[in-house]
Structure 1
């Protein structure tokens, strides 16, 4: 998939795993947006309307999970870390190779489900606000993630006080305003890094005052430094 390629909203009768063997994938549902860099895989259960957007030159692997196996996985869209075993199993199942032994693909798919059942959820998830005041604030930040405004300043545009908005972030999203904005900025940073932007320029464009604070935040959320993430993208066999 080329950078910026998108798939319009759609549904599946079965479950679906999407893994970006190279590049970065964003999946959006009515519950918000999940982002999966190359060390994560997205899971969408049957019946959820969802769309995809791809960042960088993406090698997207789509794997259908039959309905009878979906009950062993989460009942809502999510993102999971990709272990070496899970990665190789997904790549094998999506390589288009013919089945040499009857039932081999089904057995390998069962390994994938077992791995996901044992893997903790690691969502880079931005939920959608239900409260109009909170949605006004999040819409402002979606439009300009680097906007340096404080919660009190954003509250004036939303007609709500800082304490009210802070409470709404915790009650609706289960996270602080600072954490939500950090994840929003990481979403945008992943897209820029995947498209080849330097770490320093990405930090500035996404609202960090210096590269060091960006590197710390990225490492905390993604689990690796932005430089390491870009190195993995360059060295991925799927990207060559």
Structure 2
């Protein structure tokens, strides 16, 4: 028996461990944390991950890096096939101390699945050989902007809560300001200072999150655009491509592939 296989039962033998699990629609994994950092990959389905840094939407072909000891909860927007790698501190330090959504290339996808398989086979040697390439590819991966930061100011929390509950709302910032007892100028300043983005861009991300869930469930682009608050499919498609780097139609094909 090889030295790597002899040590496979020891935690120190593994620079990464893995978990393969399929979850039903609506499943909620309560708030928790891990000693190791997690690379959470949605092989299929859409996840919503909430951390102190905000809400992160993880659709197929994306992964979320969650640093070690970061409290988080996960809500499954549909039936989700999750493939997770847990990286030790030496490997995880290369991916940083903040959550990041990373685009998964074909090579990264195969590496993640192969490392999950290596852990299942208790082949530590194979895992050690693949890890440097995985980290190299992740370092150069495109970062996605599917991130919904959450505020601390109580007035801004009320505004954001109403839009999260119903992304199709078309209220202007002036109208929302009146509803929470603040001026539109104050709210605009809070969006920039607390959330690091404009009101328009923040609402765009919320609508995109809802759209990804609906598309994953098989809804038509027309109905998704309408429910996201867009007056036309073309306007919705422009927004979708700007953020996702692909059209809704292309995204649908990729989910099926």
Deviation at 1:136, TM superposition (A): 1.4
Written as runs of structure 1 = structure 2, the 5 A alignment for 1:70-85 is 70-85=92-107
Residue number in structure 2 paired with 1:232: 254
- For each residue in 1:99-145, what CA deviation from the matched residue of structure 2 results, as whole angstroms up to 9, or x when unmatched? 56x52112212222222222243231111101112111111111111
Q: Return the match for 1:216 from 235, 238, 241.
A: 238
Output the CA distance in 2 between the equivalents of 1:115 and 1:147: 39
Deviation at 1:158, TM superposition (A): 1.4
Q: Does 1:107 align with 2:134?
A: no
Q: Does 1:92 align with 2:114?
A: yes
What's the TM-score once normalised by structure 2's chain length? 0.86
* Native 8 Å contact 1:34 1:123 kept in 2: no
* Native 8 Å contact 2:240 2:247 kept in 1: yes
* Native 8 Å contact 2:211 2:225 kept in 1: yes
Residue number in structure 2 paired with 1:9: 31
Residue number in structure 1 paired with 2:64: 42
Written as runs of structure 1 = structure 2, the 5 A alignment for 1:12-27 is 12-27=34-49
- For each residue in 1:142-183, what CA deviation from the matched residue of structure 2 results, as whole angstroms up to 9, or x when unmatched? 111111100000000111111111111111111111100000
Output the CA distance in 1 between the equivalents of 2:245 and 2:120: 33
* Native 8 Å contact 1:5 1:54 kept in 2: yes
> Helix, strand or coil: the match of 1:122?
coil
Q: Does 1:57 align with 2:57?
A: no
* Native 8 Å contact 2:145 2:243 kept in 1: no
- For each residue in 1:213-239, what CA deviation from the matched residue of structure 2 results, as whole angstroms up to 9, or x when unmatched? 11111111111111111111122xxxx
Output the CA distance in 2 between the equivalents of 1:87 and 1:108: 12
* Native 8 Å contact 2:108 2:134 kept in 1: yes
Report the number of matched residues. 234
Deviation at 1:59, TM superposition (A): 1.5
Structure 2: segments with no counterpart, 5+ residues = 1-22
Residue number in structure 1 paired with 2:218: 196
Residue number in structure 2 paired with 1:238: none
What's the TM-score once normalised by structure 1's chain length? 0.92
- For each residue in 1:35-69, what CA deviation from the matched residue of structure 2 results, as whole angstroms up to 9, or x when unmatched? 11112110101101101122333211011111221
* Native 8 Å contact 1:133 1:159 kept in 2: yes
Max Rg structure: 2
Structure 1: segments with no counterpart, 5+ residues = 236-240
Q: Provide the alpha-carbon RMSD of the alignment.
A: 1.5
> Helix, strand or coil: the match of 1:103?
helix
